[in-house]
Amino acid sequence: MSARTLDEKMTIKQVIADLKVAPATFYRWRQLGKAPRSIKLPNGDVRIRRSEYERWLAEREDAA
């Protein structure tokens, strides 16, 4: 994976689609502090770095 791909910013909609979970589930994880770290933009939109998402997934795999 190139550095640019790892630094890509994903929307919550993209993350939810990739995980195949309900939006309510993902937002609950965010409230509980169990979702991947995110970036809140000045307009209120939220993005998640692909590298952070991949790191977060790897942690879940180790915990399984």
Number of neighbouring beta carbons within 10 Å of residue 16:
17
pLDDT value for 61:
85
At residue 4, the pLDDT reads 63
Determine contact, residues 7/49, Cβ cutoff 8 Å.
Answer: yes
pLDDT tens digit sequence for 1-57? 566 666 899 999 999 999 999 999 999 999 999 999 999 999 999 999 999 999 999
